[in-house]
Amino acid sequence: MRTSAIAASGLRKAYGDKIVLDGIDLDVPAGTVFSLLGPNGAGKTTTVNVLTTLMKADLAMTLVGNPKIIFLDEPTTGLDPRSRRTMWDIIRELVADGVTIFLTTQYLEEADRLADRIAVLDRGHLVAQGTPSDLKRQVPGSHVRFRFTDVLELDAAARVLAGATRDDEDLTLRVPSDGGVKSVRALLGQLDAHSIEVEEFSVHTPDLDDVFLALTSHANTEVIPQ
């Protein structure tokens, strides 16, 4: 079990009567990349500023074993693709050496590729936390796609797997599923129990764009500090 590089509970920040952070709890394991996502004005930059201030004051934050921590606030904004990938390699090398990275980014692909855990911030509240895979499974649209060798196998599978959507031209069935190992194993077990041969299957899950839009579906119309 990894120790925490950053542990913060109940972070709050207001500018006048405008609450920017409303009780944020964070636990960032040492030697990992933790990415904070959110729309403009959600409170990302404010979170970084508060955490870095608290790290200097040694308040409301636990630093176990004096780990190395780097806060990166949208570090690849404005970089060309080659430079962005170079930055990604640098981040990976730092983490391999035990450094903890707290990353905010507006590039969802970047968070997907780099982050061990992701938190989504919206209007000062954390609306979701987990691994990239965890977050993707929370959004409807995950499915397993089965391909069969002929239409007879497809017909048989369609009778067994209720709720599936078929494509006769491609000889495929699209079955709603969370995409987890247990779920896929159960579907394959159903087909196997009826001696239905599957040529191939693949798991499809929403990407982080889908997650972001689903969890931050309203527009931030007010201009507040980030």
Predicted confidence at residue 217, as pLDDT, reads 62
Does the domain at 4-137+208-215 match CATH 3.40.50.300? Answer given as: yes
Q: What is the pLDDT of residues 118-162, one digit of tens each?
A: 999 998 999 999 999 889 878 878 899 999 999 999 999 999 998
79-122 tens-digit pLDDT: 999 999 999 999 999 999 899 999 999 899 999 999 999 999 99
143-204 CATH: 3.30.70
Alpha-carbon distance of 43 to 126, in angstroms, equals 10
What CA–CA distances, in Å, run from 78 to 74, 81, 87? 9, 9, 12
pLDDT of residue 189: 96
Query: pLDDT of 191-214, one tens digit each?
Result: 999 999 999 999 988 889 988 988
- DSSP letter at 199? S
Q: Who wins on pLDDT, 189 or 40?
A: 189
Token pair recorded at residue 143: 């499915």
pLDDT band at 62 (very low <50, low <70, confident <90, very high): very low
Handedness of CA 8, 9, 13, 18 (dihedral sign): positive
Say if 4-137+208-215 and 143-204 have the same CATH topology: no
d(CA 92, CA 3): 19
Query: Model pTM?
Result: 0.72
Domain ranges for the chain, please list them: 4-137+208-215, 143-204
Number of other CB atoms surrounding residue 78 within 10 Å = 8
d(CA 211, CA 205): 10
Q: Which residue is it, tokens 């920040």?
A: 13
Section 70-79 average pLDDT: 90
